Each structure stands twice: as structure tokens, then as C-alpha cells.
């Protein structure tokens, strides 16, 4: 699109200009609408498309109808054969002297003239004599016998004095009536009028009395002039195309029917082409102009409003962006002011403009604008100014909103962050206290509000308004409860995590989703702790395995040369060398080589047993059977050293879950231990006892050498009861036995009591 | 005269084995890695091979696999690795025996002899009488004559030992507890049987096995009983 190619600045300026133009258009439209005579009637008068339909036209018609019937009346009064006749009798009076006089029109006019009265060019009575003369002139007040212009005058008299009038008063009356007659004559007869009328009565003699200014028009032609009204004596229906009927027409028509028959009619016609200049044409022209203005104003108003909305939308869309990619929002100096300050400034600006209205604005308006429109002008200017100020502030807010700095840069935001930071720097108990105090404060305020509103509930417009803070209070409690509930859930999760970690599941992670505040920190730290522990544990397992691997590899490397040593020592011995010394040396070599062999083998086993790097084949085995088997293996061996094996075993099987081969290794080591270190010719006691859900195997012997070390040391590697390390043991037997027992899930204990050595292993019994 | 191929990268060990086996009347061919061994196997009539596992070039395991592609001679693996899985691996890929270093020279010689006997003679021995003859690997029992042979060598057993062995061999693979054996042999109910059976078993093992600590035939199922391995 072509417009997108415009630079952003130009685009915005263009939009702003358009916005201003539309604003002007909008206000112009409003002004057009405001300044019309039909203001206040809303849209309804728009339906009345022509002046003839309006009420003002009807009002005009009503006054004209009144005039027409006055004409009907005055025509007979003043005219003879269609001409003004000055000899027509007007009034008859009787003086105190008893003399009765009849004054004709001429007399009355001349009397009036003599006193200085005259008719103006608008046919109004004017002039008159000086006041002092009036007293003498009117000294004689005659009784009125009759008035030609008011035949039924006597009926109107309510007081006796009403029947008397000075000649001056009478002549003034006549003069005023004559003025009216002239006016009608001038408006409807002498000058062309757009209103045509025909009024017809039939007198007693059957002669038609016609009053018209359109004698040349037949009735049907008059109907075609535009608007018409036809009312006849023999019908109550009005034949008309007028929208509003003049409501005096029927009564006037009937009032002037002096002949008591129904042969009369009135025809009114308004030439809606308005060829002649008269009140109708003037009003019609004004009406048409105002209506056009109104419609134009409406169109301006609509276009202006739509344009305003559109350009406003465009400006909102573009606000803040400097380039057409609409990424970065640029803020000006005003936008950087905290939002509270800018709102306050806007408020003050509005207030200032409000007060300018009376001081500067009013004076300026008086200089420029018509008095009638000053108020309107001022209001318009005020609205425009307010609108522009609010527009500026609104766009500033919009830019800040787009830049996401509305809250961030506001004073409230600063204060909030400051409070949070300040709270975070304090201790947890202090924060808790602050929260509790806040909770108390809010509750107190709400309760006080409720109490206050309840107490003054009769003063409130809605008496139950205190329900609202009550609901707020309940909501606040619920919110607090939810917070506490969540905190409890978090604590629960954390303690479960701690439990898991303390159980040895160091890889356990607390799910911290949804955690906040202290709980989030705590769980994060715990997870880190768990990670650390897990890493350490894995490192330890790894290093144990490495150690075991190292020992295994070293032992492999030792075994190969050892093989040669053992073999060649053996070969040497087979040479049957007769030298006794050499034979004894060879014996030593052979013995030590074998010990080295045992040592390497035990070393591998010990490292594997202690690191747990062994494959276990756990099955259900009978411990009693195992002891029998072991006894069978060792019975003869013990006889070499004259040791007696005394065993006390239960007759029934006792099943345990263990790896038979490994457990045999444990027993073998214990039996070998007894074989090696027991005093010759002593007894070795072996028994199996079941206590509750555990079975215990015990082997006891009396040591040949004093046991001057404690029991725990005996299971350490390379520790032996005898100080001299000449015998065949590697010093690893008990250590291996202990580690293997632990690996199999059993307990291993050694007791020393003097020279009594006692080893015990225990396993849970399978039910 | 049987020919034995000894293959180890440690020359002194090969030399020692050579001395022992030559002393027992075998002819020994020496190889110091797997390729040598395979070459010598092609060019010589070999009755048994002793091979080390850890050797440069072709190691013992792969050498064994190669040999097994063409030959069924007894192979004894000799290795410093004494863990269970090493032994299982060696036996699974086709070796007949596995001896851990450092080895007892007498045991090595005994095993060599045993394998050679089985490989060369056993086929003929078993064929002449099938009735009341029980065989389990190199273990042979002539029930008619109450004679027991291990790898063709006659073994002397006491009557009780003989009966226990016969019971186990007849039910090769089945595990007998001490009480079951006692009841079957002594025909008495075993009430808190003592160590008698275990001692007898030990005696049998000492007589029929080359290394009683690592029995080939009479196995101890610790905590359960005894059985003859079904072969």
C-alpha cells in the first residue's frame, strides 16, 4: 500500500491534521444544528419537509383566518358596493340633555383628527392631544345607544358605566377598526398574496355574499394551488390537505353566519410556489434555508464523528512508534513524567481552562461573537480545549502503556517496588508482622465502613449499600484463606521433599511450579542441596567403583608374576636339593608366595564387598541347612588343631532371603577365623537361635592369644588379633564377612570378653 | 604321545608349564600370542590347548572362538581374572575349563590329563554295557560292579559314599537336602540330623574332584542341599 511507504512522522502528522479537520467539521455540524429556529424539536421536524406542514405556518394561518373574518365583518361595515363609504353610520349616542346623535364614519375620523390622532403607515393609531385638554373635551359623557361595528355590545356590559363612553374613546375605537380594515385591505386585496380565500354566506333573500381576494379563481382551481382547506356549512368534515388545521376556523365561520342557514363555505388556499412576497414566502424561504442548514449540519456531524473515530484509531495504532516496523516505542519528555504527575497536570490544565471561560474567554467572545451566541461559543471552545488536552494526555498514557512503563514509571509503581524491596530486606518475622498488621488494618477499615454505613443506612440512596463492603470483607477473608492454604500446600510439599531426601532419595526434586516468596526460595535451596548431595553421592559411588577397579586391575597385574614365582619355587623344590638350608628357604618362599596369593584374592573381594560392587543372587535358603553344610566342610579341618565343634541347631528349617554362596563365604571366613586363632584343644560353639522375627547365628571360641584390641577394630582391614603377622591370614576375613553380611541385609556383631571371641550374624526370618 | 599347545605372552609361565607337562610325558608346543597359536594349530596335530586370556594381538577369548570354528579339542583357559563373570564368559564361548592364576601346577596337570582322557578314551569306555551304568560328564558309575570312574580313572568309595553318589547321579540336576539324603540312604527319619551327611559329601568331593573347592560334579547349593550337575 502506498500509505505504508510514507515516513512514520509524516503519517502521524497527516493523521493529526485530519483529526483536527474532522474535529472542526464535527463542531461546525453541531453549530449548524444548534443555530436553527427549530432547535429543540429534535429530528421530528425533519419529517415536515415543507413550511406549509409546520406549526408556525398553522399559527400564521390561524391569525390570517382571524383577519379574514374581521374583513368579513368590516367589509359590510365600511363598504358600499365594494368601495369605502365615509357616510356609513358608526355610533348613536344620547347626551344628558336628551339629544340623540348619530355619527357617521366621516364624523368620527374628523373628530379624531381634530384631537390630533392619525394612522401610521402600518395602520396603527398614533398621536393625540395634550392631557389637560382631555378633561374639558370629555366633560359630557354620552350614553351609547348602538355601535354599528359591535351590534351586540350591550351584552358585554358588566357595569352600568360601561354603557357610557366619551366621544374621544368612540372615535379612537372606530379609528382602530378602520386601521385593521386598511391593514386587511392592504395585505390581501391591494397587494398580491400567496394566501387566497373565499368566504361565502347566503342571506335571507337568497343573495350570495362573497368575501374573497380570489374572485377570479373557481374553487377547484384553488385546490390545485398547493395547500387548501374547504369547509362548508352543510358538513362537519373539513376537506383539506393541510397537516395541521387552524383550530379557530370552524368557530369563526359559524360566528359570522348571520343568516341562520347552512349555505355558506370557506375556501382557503396557499400557493406553495410562493410567487408573491408576503409573510408566507418569507417564512417559507427561511424555513427551507434552516432545514438545509440542519441537514448539512447533520451530515457534517456524522462525517466529523466518523472521521474523528477513524483518525483516532489510526493515531492510537501509530502512537509511540518512530518507524514503520512498530517495534520500539519512543517516549517524549512529557511521557517520562510519572503518570500521577501528568494526570495531575492535566487536571490543572482542565481546571485552568474552566476558569478562563469567565475571565478571558467571555471578554474575547464579546469582541468576536454576537451576543446571543456567546454562551454557545464559549461552551464549544471549552469542549474543544478539554478534548485536545485529554487527547494529549490520553496519547501520553497510550505511549507509556505501549512501552510498558505505565506502571513501572508511576509513583505508585516506584513506591510498590520500594516497599517490596524494603520488606525483602527485613527478616521473615518482621515481614510476617507487617503482613499481619496490614491484614488487621484492612479488616478494621472494612468493619468500620460496614458499621458506619449500617448506622447511617437511612441516609444512603440505596439503604442496603453496606452489603457491598460486607461482600468485600468476606472476599478478603477468602483470599487470605487461599493464600494460607497455598502456603500450607507449599510447606507440605517442601517437608515431603525433605523427607524424601532424608530417606536417601537425593535426586528428588520439589516441584516448585506455582511457588512464590519464601517457599520458592526454600524449595529452590533444598533442590540445590539435593543436587549437591546427589552429586556427592554419585561421586562417592564412582570413586568407590574406581577404587575397586583399581584394586582388581592391580591384583591381576600381581597375579601374573606371582604365578611364575609360585611355579618356579615349586620347580625348585622338586629338584630335591639336599642342602637343608636351601630347603628351609624354599619353604619360606613358598609360604609367603601363597600368602601373597591369598592376600590379592582377599583384597579384591574385600574391595568389592565394601563398595557393594557385587552381583547378588538372592534366594530363599535354610540357614540351618547351611550351618550343617558348613560344619561338614570344617569338622575334619578342625580336628587338625584338635578343636571340637559343638553345634546347637534347631531341628526345623529357618528360611531367610540371602545369596547362599556369599553367606557361605561369610561363614567360611568366620570358621576359618576360629580355626586360625582358637586355642588348640578347645571347643568351638556354634548355635542358631530364633528371636522373634530374626534368626541369629553365633560362633564362639577362646582365642589362643590375648585379645588386646576392641571388637570394632577387628573388622577393620588388616587388623588381626595377634600382633605377629606370620600366620596365613590376610587380615581381611572379618572385614569381608562384615561387609558381605551388610550387603545381604543382615547384622554383624563381634563381642570380646577376655579371651572369648564371639561373632554373631542376624537375618530377618521369612514367614 | 599327546601334543599340548601352550599359549601365553609370559614366557616364563609357558616354560614352567612346559616343564610340568613334559615331566608328565606330554609333548608341548609353545606360542606367545593368539596368531602364533592358530598357526601352530594348523601345522601340528594338537590334542589340547592351554590359552591365556590377556595377550597382545589376538587375545585368548578370540583365539578360542577361532579355534572352535574348526576344532573340538579341549581348551583350558588360564587367566589372572578370577571373577565369576570372566569364568562364565570363558566357558560360554567354548572353553572346556577355566583355571585362575596363580594356579596349582598339580591341579593344572590333573585337569589336562582328565580332559585328554575324556577326549581320547571315554568314547570307547561307555559303549560296552549300558545297563545299570550311569554317566554324568566324566563321571561314570557301573552299578553292577559298584565301580566309579572319573575320566576313566577308577575311584574307591565307601558303601555309604557310593550310595549317596548313586542317588545324586541317578537324579542328576535335582537338589537333595541333608535330611532327604539321610532318609534315603539310612532309611531312618532324620531328626535333627548332624553333620554326617555333609562330612560324607565332603569326602566324596575330595575323591572325585580335582579341586574340591571348585567342584565340577558334586556341587553344593549353600543353604539348600547338594546336587550332581547335569551335563
CA distance B225 to A587: 39
Instruction: Assess whether pLDDT exceeds 90 at residue A671.
Output: yes
Which residue of chain A has the CA closest to B104? A567
In this structure, are B18 and B103 located in the same domain?
yes
Q: According to the model, what pLDDT value does residue A725 have? A: 47
| ipTM for the predicted complex | 0.83
The mean pLDDT of A567-594, rounded to a whole number, is: 88
Has residue B170 got a pLDDT over 60? Answer: yes
Q: A197 Cβ partners below 8 Å, 6+ apart?
A: A64, A68, A188, A211, A212, A213, A214, A266, A267, A268, A269
Mark whether B166 and B219 lie in a shared domain: yes
Mean pLDDT score of chain A, rounded to an integer?
A: 83
Q: What is the CATH number of the domain that holds B55?
A: 3.40.50.2300
What is the separation of C-alpha A252 from the centre of its chain, rounded to a whole number of angstroms? Answer: 69
Residue A449, pLDDT above cutoff 80? yes
Q: Is the pLDDT of residue A1 over 50?
A: no
- Portion of chain A with pLDDT greater than 70, in percent: 95
Tell me, what's the pLDDT at A317? 85
Per-residue confidence band for A684, with pLDDT thresholds at 50, 70 and 90: very high
Chain A residues whose CB is inside 8 A of the B11 CB are none
Q: Domain A614-764's class?
A: alpha beta
Judged by CB atoms closer than 8 Å, whether chains meet at B225 and A626 is answered as no
What is A684-724 written as a DSSP string? Answer: EEEEEEEETTEEEEEEEEEBSS---S-HHHHTSTT--SSS-
Chain B residues with CB under 8 Å of A645 CB are 195
Task: Answer whether A628 sits within 8 Å of B192, measured CB to CB.
Answer: no
Among B94, B120, B146, the domain-final residue is B120
pLDDT on residue A574: 86
- What confidence category does residue A395 fall into, taking pLDDT thresholds of 50, 70 and 90? confident
Prediction pTM value? 0.52
Q: Which of B32, B53, B54, B102 to mutate to test the interface with A (most CBs of A within 10 A)?
A: B102
CB-based contact A556 B201, cutoff 8 Å? no
Q: Over the stretch A596-611, which tens digit does the pLDDT of each residue have?
A: 888 888 888 888 888 7
From chain A residues 616-645, the ones with a CB under 8 A of any chain B CB are 619, 621-623, 625-626, 628-633, 635-636, 645
Residues B115, B134, single domain; the answer is no
Write the pLDDT tens digit of every residue in B130-153: 667 888 878 888 888 888 888 878
Judged against a pLDDT cut of 80, whether residue A502 lies above it is answered with yes
Query: Does pLDDT of A724 surpass 50?
Result: no
Output A234 or A573, whichever has higher pLDDT.
A573
Position A62 scores a pLDDT of: 87
End-to-end CA distance of chain A: 88
In this complex, do B102 and A623 lie within 8 Å of one another by their Cβ atoms?
no
Q: Report pLDDT digits (tens) over A533-547.
A: 888 888 988 888 888
- The domain that holds B164 is classified in CATH as 1.10.10.10
pLDDT the model gives residue B196? 85
Closest Cβ opposite residue B199 in set A615, A635, A664: A635
The reported pLDDT for the residue numbered B129 is: 54
Cross-chain residue pair B191–A651, CB shorter than 8 Å: yes
SS3 of chain B: helix, strand, coil, percent, to 5 = 40, 20, 35
Domain boundary among B100, B120, B140: B120
Q: Which residues of A touch B224 (CB under 8 A)?
A: 619, 621-622, 625, 660
Has residue A82 got a pLDDT over 50? yes
- Span A49-69, mean pLDDT? 83
DSSP A394-417: HHHHHHHHHTT-TTTSSHHHHHHH
User: Is the pLDDT assigned to residue A20 strictly greater than 50?
Assistant: yes
Using the beta-carbon criterion (under 8 Å), do A632 and B199 form an inter-chain contact? Answer: yes
Name the residue with higher pLDDT: A481 or A262: A481
Q: Which of A621, A631, A633 is nearest residue B224 as measured by Cβ atoms?
A: A621
Count of domains observed in chain B: 2
Q: At what angle do helices B11-23 and B105-120 cross, to 10 degrees?
A: 60
SS3 assignment for A277-315: CCHHHHHHHHHHHHHHHHHHHHHHHHHHHHHHHHHHHHH
Please check whether residue A576 touches B, CB under 8 A.
Answer: no
Model confidence at A45: pLDDT above 50: yes
**Same structural domain, B29 and B97:** yes
Mean pLDDT of all residues in B161-185: 89
Residue B29, domain extent: 3-120
Q: Quick one: pLDDT at residue A663?
A: 93
- State percent of chain A over pLDDT 90: 13
Residues B136 and B111 reside in one and the same domain: no
Do B57 and B130 lie in one domain? The reply is no
Q: Which residue numbers of B have CB closer than 8 Å to A's CBs?
A: 10, 12-13, 16-17, 19-20, 54, 80-85, 100-103, 105, 177-178, 191-195, 197-202, 220-225
Q: Is A658 on the interface with B (CB under 8 A)?
A: yes
Q: Alpha-carbon distance A277 to A193, whole Å?
A: 7
Q: Are residues B50 and B138 in the same domain?
A: no
Q: Are residues B106 and B65 part of one domain? A: yes
What is the distance in angstroms between the CA of the first residue and the CA of the last residue of chain B?
Answer: 29
Mutate to test the interface with B, among A632, A635, A664, A746 (most CBs of B within 10 A): A632
Which of A146-155, A371-380, A439-448, A624-633 bottoms out in mean pLDDT, i.e. has the lowest?
A146-155
Please check whether residue A661 touches B, CB under 8 A.
yes
Give A719's pLDDT tier (boundaries 50, 70, 90).
low
- In this model, does residue A481 exceed pLDDT 50? yes
Same domain, B97 and B183: no
Number of neighbours of residue B9 by Cβ within 10 angstroms? 19
Amino acid at each position: 500500500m502506498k500509505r505504508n511507504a510514507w515516513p512514520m512522522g509524516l503519517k502521524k502528522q497527516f493523521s493529526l491534521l485530519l483529526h483536527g479537520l474532522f474535529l472542526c467539521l464535527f463542531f461546525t455540524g453541531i453549530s449548524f444544528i444548534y443555530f436553527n429556529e427549530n432547535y429543540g424539536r429534535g429530528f421530528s421536524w425533519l419529517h415536515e419537509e415543507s413550511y406549509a406542514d409546520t406549526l408556525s405556518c398553522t399559527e400564521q394561518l390561524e391569525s390570517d383566518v382571524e383577519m379574514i373574518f374581521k374583513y368579513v365583518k368590516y367589509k359590510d361595515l365600511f363598504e358600499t358596493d365594494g368601495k369605502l363609504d365615509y357616510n356609513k353610520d358608526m355610533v348613536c349616542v344620547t347626551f344628558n340633555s336628551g339629544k340623540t346623535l348619530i355619527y357617521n364614519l366621516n364624523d368620527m375620523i374628523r373628530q379624531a383628527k381634530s384631537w390630533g390622532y392619525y394612522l401610521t403607515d402600518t395602520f396603527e393609531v398614533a398621536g393625540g392631544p395634550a392631557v389637560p385638554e382631555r378633561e374639558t373635551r370629555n366633560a359630557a359623557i354620552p350614553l351609547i345607544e348602538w355601535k354599528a361595528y359591535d351590534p351586540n355590545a350591550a351584552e358585554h356590559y358588566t357595569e352600568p358605566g360601561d354603557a357610557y363612553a366619551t366621544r374621544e374613546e368612540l372615535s379612537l375605537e372606530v379609528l382602530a377598526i378602520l386601521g385593521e380594515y386598511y391593514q386587511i385591505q392592504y395585505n390581501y386585496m391591494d397587494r398580491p398574496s400567496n394566501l387566497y380565500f373565499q368566504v361565502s354566506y347566503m342571506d335571507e333573500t337568497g343573495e350570495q355574499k362573497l368575501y374573497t381576494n380570489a374572485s377570479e379563481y373557481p374553487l377547484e382551481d384553488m385546490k390545485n394551488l398547493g395547500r387548501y382547506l374547504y369547509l362548508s356549512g352543510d358538513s362537519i368534515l373539513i376537506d383539506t390537505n393541510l397537516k395541521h388545521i387552524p383550530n379557530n376556523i370552524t368557530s369563526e365561520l359559524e360566528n359570522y353566519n348571520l343568516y341562520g342557514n347552512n349555505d355558506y363555505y370557506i375556501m382557503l388556499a396557499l400557493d406553495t410556489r410562493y410567487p408573491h412576497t408576503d409573510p408566507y414566502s418569507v417564512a417559507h424561504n427561511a424555513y427551507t434555508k434552516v432545514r438545509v442548514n440542519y441537514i448539512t449540519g447533520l451530515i457534517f456531524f456524522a462525517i466529523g464523528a466518523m472521521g474523528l473515530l477513524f483518525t483516532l484509531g489510526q493515531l492510537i495504532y501509530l502512537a509511540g512508534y518512530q518507524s514503520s516496523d512498530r517495534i520500539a516505542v519512543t517516549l517524549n519528555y512529557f511521557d517520562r513524567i510519572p503518570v500521577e504527575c501528568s494526570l495531575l497536570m492535566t487536571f490543572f490544565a482542565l481546571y485552568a481552562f474552566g476558569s478562563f471561560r469567565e475571565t478571558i474567554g467571555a471578554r474575547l467572545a464579546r469582541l468576536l461573537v454576537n451576543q446571543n451566541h456567546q454562551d454557545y461559543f464559549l461552551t464549544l471552545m471549552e469542549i474543544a480545549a478539554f478534548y485536545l488536552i485529554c487527547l494529549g494526555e490520553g496519547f501520553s498514557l497510550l505511549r507509556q502503556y505501549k512501552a510498558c512503563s505505565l506502571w513501572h514509571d508511576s509513583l505508585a509503581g516506584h513506591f510498590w517496588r520500594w516497599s517490596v524491596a524494603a520488606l525483602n530486606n527485613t527478616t521473615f518475622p518482621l515481614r510476617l508482622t507487617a503482613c499481619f498488621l496490614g491484614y488487621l488494618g484492612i479488616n478494621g477499615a472494612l468493619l468500620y465502613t460496614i458499621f458506619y454505613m449500617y448506622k447511617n443506612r437511612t441516609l444512603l440512596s440505596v439503604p442496603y449499600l453496606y452489603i457491598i463492603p460486607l461482600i468485600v470483607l468476606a472476599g478478603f477473608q477468602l483470599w487470605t484463606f487461599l493464600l494460607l492454604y497455598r502456603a500450607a500446600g507449599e510447606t507440605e510439599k517442601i517437608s515431603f521433599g525433605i523427607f524424601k531426601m532424608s530417606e536417601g532419595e537425593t535426586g528428588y526434586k520439589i516441584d516448585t511450579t506455582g511457588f512464590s516468596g519464601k517457599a520458592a526460595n526454600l524449595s529452590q535451596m533444598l533442590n540445590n542441596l539435593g543436587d549437591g548431595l546427589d552429586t556427592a553421592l554419585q561421586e562417592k559411588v564412582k570413586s568407590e567403583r574406581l577404587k575397586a577397579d583399581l584394586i582388581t586391575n592391580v591384583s591381576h597385574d600381581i597375579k601374573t608374576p606371582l604365578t611364575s614365582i609360585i611355579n618356579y619355587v615349586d620347580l625348585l623344590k622338586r629338584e630335591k636339593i639336599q642342602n637343608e638350608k636351601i630347603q628351609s628357604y624354599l619353604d619360606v618362599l613358598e609360604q609367603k608366595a601363597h600368602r601373597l596369593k591369598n592376600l590379592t584374592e582377599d583384597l579384591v573381594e574385600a574391595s568389592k564387598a565394601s563398595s557393594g560392587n557385587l552381583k547378588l543372587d538372592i534366594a530363599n535358603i535354610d540357614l540351618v541347612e547351611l550351618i550343617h553344610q558348613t560344619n561338614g566342610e570344617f569338622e575334619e579341618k578342625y580336628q587338625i588343631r584338635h578343636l571340637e565343634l559343638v553345634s546347637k541347631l534347631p531341628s526345623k528349617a529357618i528360611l531367610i532371603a540371602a545369596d547362599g554362596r556369599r553367606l557361605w563365604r561369610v561363614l567360611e571366613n568366620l570358621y576359618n577365623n576360629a580355626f586360625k586363632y582358637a586355642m588348640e584343644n578347645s571347643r568351638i560353639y556354634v548355635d542358631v537361635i530364633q528371636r522373634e522375627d530374626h534368626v541369629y547365628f553365633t560362633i564362639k571360641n577362646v582365642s589362643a592369644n590375648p585379645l588386646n584390641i576392641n571388637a570394632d577394630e577387628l573388622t577393620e582391614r588388616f587388623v588381626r588379633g595377634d600382633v605377629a603377622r606370620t600366620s596365613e591370614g590376610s587380615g581381611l576375613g572379618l572385614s569381608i564377612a562384615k561387609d558381605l553380611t551388610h550387603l545381604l541385609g543382615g547384622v554383624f556383631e563381634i563381642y570380646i570378653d577376655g579371651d572369648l571371641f564371639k561373632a554373631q550374624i542376624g537375618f530377618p526370618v521369612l514367614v | 604321545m599327546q601334543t599340548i599347545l601352550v599359549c601365553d605372552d609370559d614366557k616364563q609361565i609357558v616354560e614352567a608349564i612346559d616343564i610340568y607337562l613334559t615331566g608328565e610325558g606330554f609333548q608341548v608346543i609353545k606360542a606367545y600370542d593368539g596368531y602364533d597359536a592358530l598357526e601352530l594349530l594348523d601345522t601340528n596335530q594338537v590334542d589340547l590347548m592351554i590359552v591365556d586370556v590377556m595377550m597382545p594381538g589376538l587375545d585368548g577369548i578370540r583365539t578360542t572362538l577361532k579355534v572352535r570354528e574348526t576344532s573340538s579339542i579341549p581348551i583350558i583357559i588360564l587367566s589372572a581374572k578370577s571373577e565369576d563373570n570372566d569364568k562364565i564368559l570363558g566357558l560360554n564361548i567354548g572353553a572346556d575349563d577355566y583355571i585362575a592364576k596363580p594356579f596349582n601346577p598339580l591341579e593344572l596337570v590333573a585337569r589336562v590329563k582328565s580332559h585328554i582322557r575324556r577326549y581320547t578314551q571315554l568314547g570307547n569306555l561307555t559303549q560296552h554295557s549300558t545297563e545299570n551304568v550311569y554317566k554324568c560328564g566324566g563321571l561314570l558309575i557301573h552299578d553292577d560292579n559298584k565301580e566309579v570312574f572319573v575320566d576313566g580313572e577308577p575311584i574307591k568309595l565307601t558303601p555309604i559314599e557310593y550310595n549317596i553318589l548313586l542317588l545324586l547321579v541317578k537324579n542328576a540336576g535335582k537338589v537333595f537336602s541333608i535330611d532327604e539324603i539321610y532318609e534315603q540312604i539310612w532309611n531312618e527319619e532324620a531328626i535333627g540330623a548332624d553333620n554326617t551327611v555333609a562330612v560324607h559329601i565332603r569326602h566324596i568331593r575330595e575323591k572325585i574332584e580335582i579341586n574340591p573347592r571348585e567342584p565340577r560334579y558334586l556341587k553344593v547349593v549353600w543353604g539348600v542341599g547338594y546336587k550332581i550337575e547335569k551335563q
